[in-house]
Amino acid sequence: MTEVRPVGREQGKNAGDAPLRVVLVLDPTRTEPMTRPARAGVEVKLHLAALDKITATSAFVMRADILIVEIDTTKPAQFDQFARLIQELDGSRPVVAACRTLTVADTRRLMRHGAIDVLPLPIAADDFEHSIEQAARFRAPQVATANVHEGKVISFLGAVGGIGATALATQSGVLWAATKRVCLIDLDIQFGSAALYLDMKPKLNLVDLIDAGERLDAEILRAVAAQHSSGLSVIAGPDDMMPLEIMTPALAMQILSVARQCFDLVIIDLPSAWTSWSMTVLSQSALTILVAPLTVPGIHQAKRKLDLMDANVLPSKIVLNRVARPLFRTIDLGDTEKVLGRKVDYTIANDYLTVSGAIDQGRTLSAVKSKSRVEADLAEMVSGLSAILDADNDE
């Protein structure tokens, strides 16, 4: 395999430094002129070639440290051709997709195929700089093969803050850990508390993965992951409040890629704030569990987030948490589904004493109260979601 050399801002200033070779492959039918992007320490070569003619053994591909390939997103066949190229390259060099017309759905699809980044054409200097840094740090695109284990990613996201998404994520992880190798990663960088919900105080946390940067691998990730008595592995959020920008889309991709190699299921506890990297996480998730309260503001916030996820073709399930018994409900479930424009997938009973006791004591629901209604609802949700994930594996 070709080794991808890390690019620093000072690279290329010394005479002995070899420049990073970037090959920009454009559609030969392009008529408008293309300005060659520039960066210190980077040598950019332009090449005209139809996507279906590019192979891993093409001379210009073999000369590239990083490959940027134009994709016509209006032609469905090009997505398959891009996926074929990624498979042929088999991780030998990072590939960036470049598109004249681009939607978030297109970006998600291309990154699922193995693109390290996706750039709009014409390429702006800032976008090029950022993309090259990502590609140089990322050692290899994660391409699914028969010999590489790839677990599923499932993300928990609250429609509003304080609705209990973290509690559902942690308790679900405990249930899943009975039958699978499961890792819960707390990506709530500013207010993460998943480890505390399980009475865990690990010495290492997410910041250690971020600090590892390009050195991040399975060994480091396993070292950072703390073990719960249930068998669940937990990567805790930072001890201190950190800026959301400490995480990047490329780093989020790398963490997920390594975690998927190590575990059957990777559960992500996301912050309610929308960021570029959280969208990357959602794009890599087999399912996103949107947790909402049965309240007017909560349902309308859930509707807004569902609309955004649907527009970007992000598979999701809606879960209503803390749902009172019918006699005590002030909002009808049928009216809620009309507002959402879809059926509610799961409801979790309102059992304040059991759930708050579990959180305060850092225990599982069953340890606080055996055979509680809330645990039964949660087990039903986990069973249903497992069936969906298993069906995806069979396709």
The C-alpha torsion from 37 through 40 and 43 to 48, rounded to 10°, is -10
In the block, residue with structure tokens 């559960």: 267
Question: Which residues, 6 or more positions from 320, have their beta carbon under 8 angstroms from its beta carbon?
Answer: 292, 293, 294, 333, 336, 344, 346, 347, 348
- Point out the least confidently predicted range of 2-6, 210-214, 263-267: 2-6
For 236, other C-beta atoms within 10 Å of its C-beta total 26
Biggest CA–CA distance in the chain, Å, is 78
* Res. 147 pLDDT band, cuts 50 70 90: very low
Q: For 38-86, write each residue's pLDDT tens digit.
A: 777 788 888 888 898 898 877 788 888 889 999 999 999 999 999 999 8
Task: Report whether 97 contacts 110 (CB < 8 A).
Answer: yes
> What's the distance, CA 48 to chain centroid?
33
Task: Report whether 351 contacts 365 (CB < 8 A).
Answer: no
In the predicted model, what is the mean pLDDT of residues 142-161?
73
- Spell out the domain ranges in the chain: 20-137, 152-394
Three-point CA angle 180, 181, 185, nearest 5°? 120
Question: Which residues, 6 or more positions from 220, have their beta carbon under 8 angstroms from its beta carbon?
Answer: 208, 209, 212
For 390, other C-beta atoms within 10 Å of its C-beta total 10
- Round to whole Å and give the CA distance between 83 and 98: 14
Q: For 282-333, write each residue's pLDDT tens digit.
A: 988 999 999 999 898 899 999 999 998 888 778 899 999 988 876 566 678 8
Q: For 189-244, write each residue's pLDDT tens digit.
A: 999 899 999 999 998 999 999 988 878 888 899 999 999 999 999 999 998 888 88
Q: What share of the chain is helix, strand, coil (3-state, %, to 5)?
A: 40, 20, 40
Task: Report whether 109 contacts 80 (CB < 8 A).
Answer: no
Q: For 20-137, CATH number? A: 3.40.50.2300
CATH for 152-394 (3.30.70.20, 3.40.50.300, 3.20.20.10, 3.20.20.105): 3.40.50.300
- Position 131 pLDDT exceeds 50: yes
DSSP 207: H
313: tokens are 């073709």
Nearest to 282, CA basis, from 303, 263, 305: 305
For residues 134 and 373, the model is more confident at 373
Query: What's the pLDDT score for residue 111?
Result: 84
Nearest to 302, CA basis, from 345, 249, 266: 345
For 9, other C-beta atoms within 10 Å of its C-beta total 11
Q: For 327-368, write each residue's pLDDT tens digit.
A: 566 678 888 999 999 999 999 999 889 988 888 888 888 889
- Quote the pTM value: 0.64
